[in-house]
Amino acid sequence: MNMRIIQTPIEGLLVLEPKVFEDARGYFLESFHQQRYFEAGITTGFVQDNESKSARGVIRGLHYQLNPFAQAKLVRVIEGCVLDVAVDLRPQSPTYGDWFGIELSGSNRKQLFIPRGFAHGFSVISETAVFSYKCDNYYSPQHERGILYNDPKLNIDWKIPEGEAVVSEKDRKNDLFGTIEFQF
């Protein structure tokens, strides 16, 4: 197999390390190979790819969508470095309300598979970062919801001092974890 799969402490949330072929010219990796992902148990059918570029200190999230537009995501960083965070919103899960964070970078080339039933966000800890993600469902503004990035109940360390955080007005209005609307 051309990738290593690491189970996180939260069931279904997987770190993927693709095999990288490097030489004097640069590098090559398979960022996605449907059959290899199926063999690894990731049978999600992706329908949309997104990419963003952000400056240091930007925090995006925590976002999720309600059914029938809930989304699984496969995320990675092409350039730069982010702290990527997923919060378990599955009420029957033993890790409901827990979060997992991992540094994803253009250097480590790790990916994070986030199944449906999670909120997702990231902070940029390099000067800039180009972030790429696949989704298994289309974006639906009417079904989009969010959790406040600095919710004290979640207590996420974004690795960005609060005074340096660059957060959209929309994300500053997200709900607290204890009051969110969800159904998974």
What are 53-95's pLDDT values in tens digits? 999 999 999 999 999 999 999 999 999 999 999 999 999 999 9
What are 14-36's pLDDT values in tens digits? 999 989 898 999 889 888 888 88
Q: Which residues are catalytic?
A: 63, 133
What are 122-173's pLDDT values in tens digits? 999 999 999 999 999 999 999 999 999 999 999 999 999 989 999 999 999 9
Domain spans in the chain, listed from the N-terminal domain onward? 3-179
Distance CA 90, CA 183 (A): 8
CATH number of 3-179: 2.60.120.10
Distance CA 103, CA 28 (A): 21
Whether residue 1 has pLDDT greater than 60: no
Nearest to 55 by CA among 6, 3, 123: 123
Phi/psi of residue 169, each to 5°? -60, -40
Q: Which has more pLDDT, 36 or 102?
A: 102
CA distances from 114 to 40, 66, 99, 108, 184 (A): 14, 15, 12, 18, 14
